[in-house]
Amino acid sequence: MSSLVKEDLQKKLFKPLSQNLYEFIEIEFSVQDRYYLCVSVTKNEEVKIVMVKHYRIGLDEKYEVTKKWSLNDLRMIDGKEADTDNPFFDLHFKKVYSLEAYSCASKYAFVRTVNKLNHAYLKKDLRIVNFDSTYLNDDSIWSSNNKDCLVLMRICFYAFNLVCLSLCPLPL
């Protein structure tokens, strides 16, 4: 489902603006409408963070840009609490925007993409606080585009090790 939305966003909103959509997440912003937080790159290699409102008129899907920022203006991303599973985070520009992602996994996916694009295009010192660095860095053995699958794989790996250790005879 999300790949269809991403394809639709790219075709109807970002391609006409000469931008390439890298990542989007659904955010809880309004009870009545759907909102997405998107990260895109322009032809001039400028990274943009865009809040998009999604609505329907009849059978047609419509997207409207409600807020737009440059990654260059982003001072910090605050994940609120690194050791709890919560979808809340703050984007610090000149003003602080408190947002709620659809899930904790999507929050991390968004921040990983912003961090990766920052390293690729800006190389500025972007402060990312209150996130578990294990799941943010691409050099981590557990990071990949598979995101949630790798977390599950890690849990299974630990469980398998526990089972193996419990079956080993203890020397007396």
**Within-domain flag for 110:** yes
**Within-domain flag for 161:** no
Q: Hey, is 82 helix, strand or coil?
A: coil
Encoded amino acid at 94, one letter: K
**Within-domain flag for 158:** no
Alpha helices in the chain (DSSP H): 2-9, 104-117, 148-167
Parent domain of 75: 3-140
**Within-domain flag for 147:** no
Phi–psi pair at 34, nearest 5 degrees:
-95, 140
Maximal C-alpha separation, the chain: 75
Quick check: 124 pLDDT over 70?
Answer: yes
126: left (phi over 0), alpha (psi -120 to 50) or beta: beta
Phi–psi pair at 157, nearest 5 degrees:
-60, -50
The pTM assigned to this predicted structure is 0.77
CATH number at residue 78: 2.30.29.90
Number of domains in the chain: 1
Quick check: 142 pLDDT over 60?
Answer: no
Bridge partners for 76 per DSSP? 92, 127
The predicted model gives 8-34 an average pLDDT of 90
The predicted model gives 81-103 an average pLDDT of 92
